[in-house]
Amino acid sequence: MVDTSQERMFIMGNTRREFTPEFKDEAVKLVINTGRAVATVARELGVNEATLGRWVNLFKASQDAGEAGITETEKAELLRLRKENADLKLDRAFLK
């Protein structure tokens, strides 16, 4: 017989939540623009404090590195558009 608490820990340990770039951007904006603590915002959003802290630090580092104004949402869209552009070029080449 398996101890149910160990079984739950095993199942929970393998579950990884994915967050959209839009969600990450909004969470970071809540911390940056309101001046509220990372822990408070993380608790309200149901996100691990360390995870939100990492997102905020990445945002601040990108601002310091001169990537002013480009958000996770914009990065995701840029990648999507580049892929779409490559696919369209292949389609065009095939049709020629």
3-state secondary structure 25-69: HHHHHHHHHHCCCHHHHHHHHCCCHHHHHHHHHHHHHHHHCCCCC
What's the number of domains the chain is made of?
1
Q: Helix 21-34 and helix 38-45: axis angle, to 10°? A: 140
Query: For every one of its 96 residues, what pLDDT tens digit does the chain have, with 9 covering 90 and above?
Result: 444 544 444 555 567 788 988 899 899 999 999 989 999 999 999 999 999 999 999 888 887 776 566 777 888 889 999 999 999 999 998 888
Query: Could you list the residue range(s) of the whole structural domain that residue 46 is in?
Result: 20-95
Question: Residue 66 domain-assigned?
Answer: yes
Question: Residue 78 domain-assigned?
Answer: yes
Q: End-to-end CA distance of the chain: give it in Å, rounded.
A: 66
Question: Residue 60 domain-assigned?
Answer: yes
Question: Residue 42 domain-assigned?
Answer: yes
Handedness of CA 80, 83, 86, 88 (dihedral sign): negative
Question: Residue 4 domain-assigned?
Answer: no
Question: Residue 1 domain-assigned?
Answer: no
Question: Residue 13 domain-assigned?
Answer: no
CATH at 62: 1.10.10
Question: Residue 35 domain-assigned?
Answer: yes
The whole-number pLDDT of residue 2 equals 47
Which residues, other chains included, contact 31 with Cβ-Cβ below 8 Å and sequence gap of 6+?
37, 38, 41, 52, 56
Tokens 């999507």 locate to 80
Q: What is the pTM of this model?
A: 0.58
